[in-house]
Amino acid sequence: MGLEFTVVAKDAGTRARAGILHTPHGDVETPVFMPVGTAGTVKAMTQTMLEELGAQIILANTYHLCMRPGHEMVREFGGLHRFISWPHAILTDSGGFQVMSLKGLGKVTDDGVWFRSHLDGSPHFFSPERVMEFQLSMGADIIMPLDECVDYPASHETLKRSVRLTGRWAERSKRYFEANAASFRQFDSTGNANSRPSLFGIVQGGTDLDLRRESAMEISEIGFDGYAIGGLSVGEPKEELYGVTERVSGWLPEDRPRYLMGVGTPEDLVKCVALGIDMFDCVMPTRNARNGSVFTSEGKLVIKSARYARDAGPIDPACGCMVCRRYSRAYIRHLFAVGEISASILATFHNLWFYLDMMRRVRQAISFGGFGKLLGGVPVGPDQTSQSA
């Protein structure tokens, strides 16, 4: 298949590795954190800000884009990159997680998922083939098949059904993709229309290791450009998150990128890099920021607290981002207190810098030594010498 993935360095003491994903819209250095732009925008950020942060790739959601503005409109604009004015890599997820979470509004069958829009109650149907069509028409660099993600905890029978459906839908998705991908013109970063997206497979099975192995073997046998571990970070204990990730990572093809969906905290990312994961996404840095919770080298800080009303220091003295170089805790707290939009903007910029800078230093540690020390307890907060562009 089309994706090129090059491993450039490995850590001697763990499964951590540094690599490069070659996409139609530029190379992506891994391990990588992908900011979540659900409806084609990372909340409170402009594309210029994301570029200043050094974001290499963002994630957008098929369900939300199909509800508004509709995949046809995105296609009319020449694809998602042109519609949102983002010339770098984009991954679109299938929207399956969002559809499955529409409690009382959806019904899962072997054919696909029937559901009602959370916006106006209108009926819709997502099949593996339609989800492929939607994503191909929008022109993302990496697309995901429809899968079934179940709640935690779930019965063995529920998980078994999920693995069965996910496997069948993966086969159908790949068949549609191979038959139709060439008919959707994909424009790369140079304007050429000869590029094609990459299709990842998704492993399900909850915390049941036997079912996880069955799913990993089946999805690997079907064959994809990369492999994702889904169905985690849904309420399971941390030890199960790490245990499942470690086992599944070891069962997936060594020469393909591995993507842990929806994870997680800074600690989660570093630990799961050590388990062999290459790609991550999570709403945590942006959602927390909008709620006044910011990440620092000493842990999370609730900037809205009255204790910071007269604090002249930056959010994190060890951080070199634009926000920490210029603004005080007292000022940012004031912005939250008076309901200013700029409060979310500044907090989000800082939190994304924290995540992206952390991943830059993880890549450096893998490539040049020191990852074991980083994993072993060195604070994962921003490097004091780091500067935003």
Q: Which two tokens stand for residue 316?
A: 């994190």
Residue 349: strand, helix, or coil: helix
CB-based contact 105:63 (threshold 8 Å): no
CB-based contact 119:67 (threshold 8 Å): yes
Alpha carbon 135 to chain centroid, angstroms: 16
Q: Which two tokens stand for residue 72?
A: 């046809």
* pTM given for the model: 0.95
What type of residue sits at position 303? I
CA dist 375 and 267 (Å) reads 9
DSSP string, 144-170: --------SS--HHHHHHHHHHHHHHH
Q: Which residues are within 8 A (CB) of 369 and not within 5 positions of it... i.e. 6 or more apart? A: none
DSSP string, 308-334: GTT--S-S-TT--SHHHHH--HHHHHH
pLDDT at res. 59: 98
CA dist 99 and 341 (Å) reads 30
- Let me know if 93 is a catalytic residue: yes
Which residue reads 């994630």 in tokens? 59
Task: Tell me the pLDDT of the chain (389 aa) as tens digits.
Answer: 468 999 999 999 999 999 999 999 999 999 999 999 999 999 999 999 999 999 999 999 999 999 999 999 999 999 999 999 999 999 999 988 887 777 666 789 999 999 888 889 999 999 999 999 999 999 999 999 999 999 999 999 999 999 999 999 999 999 999 999 988 866 666 666 667 899 999 999 999 999 999 999 999 999 999 999 999 999 999 999 999 999 999 999 999 999 999 999 999 999 999 999 999 999 999 999 999 999 999 999 999 999 999 999 999 999 999 999 999 999 999 999 999 999 999 999 999 999 999 999 999 999 999 999 889 864 444 443 333 32
Q: What is the dihedral of CA 117, 123, 126, 130, to 10 degrees?
A: -110
Catalytic residue among 11, 225, 278, 281: 281
CA dist 248 and 226 (Å) reads 13
Bridge partners, 279 (sequence order): 32, 259
Q: Which residues are within 8 A (CB) of 363 and not within 5 positions of it... i.e. 6 or more apart? A: 18, 29, 30, 31
User: Domain spans of the chain?
Assistant: 4-282, 291-375
CATH topology classification for 4-282: TIM Barrel (3.20.20)
What type of residue sits at position 14? T
Which residue reads 């993302």 in tokens? 140
CA quadruple 151, 276, 181, 59: dihedral sign:
positive
pLDDT at res. 388: 35
Which residue reads 């008076």 in tokens? 338
Nearest of 374, 136, 139 to residue 273 by alpha carbon: 374
pLDDT at res. 89: 97
pLDDT at res. 104: 66
What type of residue sits at position 177? F
Catalytic residue among 11, 93, 225, 268: 93
DSSP state of 382: P
What type of residue sits at position 300? K
Q: Which residues are within 8 A (CB) of 12 and not within 5 positions of it... i.e. 6 or more apart? A: none
Separation of first and last alpha carbons in the chain: 36
CB-based contact 61:38 (threshold 8 Å): yes
Q: Which residues are within 8 A (CB) of 336 and not within 5 positions of it... i.e. 6 or more apart? A: 292, 303, 304, 343, 347
